[in-house]
Structure 1
Amino acid sequence: MPGPLAGLALVIGAFLIGAIPWGFIAGKATGGVDLRTVGSGSTGATNVLRTLGMKASALVLVLDFLKGLLVVVLMRVSGFGGGWEAVAGVAVVIGHCWSPFIGFRGGKGVATGAGAAMALFPPVMLAIPFVAAIVWTTKYVSLGSLVFAAMIAAGGIVAAATDRLSWPSAFALVAIAAIIGARHEENLRRLRNGTERRLGDAIPAR
């Protein structure tokens, strides 16, 4: 196994890869829009959808997902163990949510977290159809995101407790879920108050 300094370097690299703000780049490339100043202020795919449309949103969604997936896979093929993979999976989500390239702003971690989660424990992606059904029926993307976070955390713990997943990877899934939950704090408050925006609602002024 490569040494700890090499592992630390790759974890820092994971953070920096996660920090690539694809949504921000898409906004600037398609009309000079700074996503931090419109809609929710997030650079994630949902705000891209509301601001720039379906095509840009789909591209950002895929690119953000691949950030999380590829970072964990690259750690694995580089010869690092499950603990390093787990740390890298969390680091890439942190980078996505608090990118130093755009003033420590960013997305809410769902797509990148999903990519990392899939690489760490592919069965958690069985949650996707259920989450999609929630979003489709309620039009609340945030509700689907929060349910997804809860499901990957619970799935990771159950899998580790039944010896189907290492505990470091399970803790990483819990940490990713916690980050997603923290980034949706305002959304959760609006859901409770009945003021959360649905898909298709007008973009509020900031």
Structure 2
Amino acid sequence: MDTPLFPLLAIVAAYLLGSVPFAMISSKVFGLADPRTYGSGNPGATNVLRSGNKKAALFTLIGDAAKGWLAVWLARHYGLSDNLTGLIALAVFAGHLFPIFLKFKGGKGVATAAGVLLALDPLLGLAVLGTWLFTAFVFRYSSLAAIVAAALAPVWQVLMQGGNGTTLVVGVLAMALVGKHWENIQRLLAGKESKIGSKKKG
């Protein structure tokens, strides 16, 4: 960890970890079709759920969240600086959004971002997760829940910790999540967005 190349290697390793496509892995394990061929075409837990296989969706959800959590936890465990930890958090998240193993076409990043936030600050992660769960339960739209949770994440962070280095990391995560949901926003406004639990089409 004393070598000049270590920070770069740590960031690359985090990106590669984030690139691991658990939606694809779970689909193969449970004998499902490629999640990019049905529903929203998104390789993520919500779309895998549209296959009707809840176990596969849960496996995807846990895997995507765990890789975000693990990258940040390892950085904290080995006493890396806050700046490097922040870059590692962004790298593992970017790996999920733009995975090298899927030609840089990844998922929306909700579960991975949740894992990152839980590792950065468990209370912050739980607050954001609670926001997602409440919104999803009330409105039954996974995308809306993700957008609301992402938008409020920086607010919760500032209220809990005040403005600091983590604020920038959380802000970048939030903006990226909202940006990845732009098409969902359009469908929500048009009343065409699929609700949680709806089956795959085609």
TM-score by length of 1: 0.90
Partner Cα separation in structure 1 for residue 89 and residue 52 of structure 2? 28
Counterpart of 2:92 in structure 1: which amino acid? V
Partner Cα separation in structure 1 for residue 100 and residue 189 of structure 2? 32
Paired position in structure 2 for 1:138: 139
Paired position in structure 2 for 1:170: 167
Of the structure 1 ranges 150-159 and 138-147, higher mean CA displacement relative to structure 2 is found in 150-159
Paired position in structure 2 for 1:56: 56
The 5 Å alignment of 1:15-34 reads 15-31=15-31, 33-34=33-34
* Aligned-residue offset at 1:105: 1.4
Counterpart of 2:195 in structure 1: which amino acid? R
CA contact (8 A) 1:7 1:80 kept: no
Paired position in structure 2 for 1:154: 155
RMSD: 1.7
TM-score by length of 2: 0.92
CA contact (8 A) 1:117 1:152 kept: no
* Aligned-residue offset at 1:66: 0.7
CA contact (8 A) 1:27 1:52 kept: no
Secondary structure of residue in 1 paired with 2:50: helix
Q: Which among 182, 193, 197 is matched to residue 194 of structure 2? A: 197
Secondary structure of residue in 1 paired with 2:179: helix
* Aligned-residue offset at 1:169: 1.6
* Aligned-residue offset at 1:136: 1.4
Paired position in structure 2 for 1:93: 93
Unaligned runs of 5+ in 1: none
Identity of aligned residues (%): 34
Partner Cα separation in structure 2 for residue 64 and residue 5 of structure 1? 27
Paired position in structure 2 for 1:8: 8
Paired position in structure 2 for 1:127: 128
Partner Cα separation in structure 2 for residue 119 and residue 129 of structure 1? 16
Counterpart of 1:45 in structure 2: which amino acid? A
Partner Cα separation in structure 1 for residue 133 and residue 52 of structure 2? 21
* Aligned-residue offset at 1:170: 1.4
Give the 3 Å change call, closer, same or farther, for CA 4–147 of structure 1 in structure 2: farther
* Aligned-residue offset at 1:160: 4.8
Partner Cα separation in structure 2 for residue 202 and residue 117 of structure 1? 30
Paired position in structure 1 for 2:118: 118
Q: How many residues align?
A: 201
Give the 3 Å change call, closer, same or farther, for CA 157–130 of structure 1 in structure 2: closer
Unaligned runs of 5+ in 2: none
CA contact (8 A) 1:190 1:196 kept: yes
Partner Cα separation in structure 2 for residue 129 and residue 187 of structure 1? 21
Give the 3 Å change call, closer, same or farther, for CA 18–61 of structure 1 in structure 2: same
Paired position in structure 1 for 2:43: 43
CA contact (8 A) 1:2 1:79 kept: no
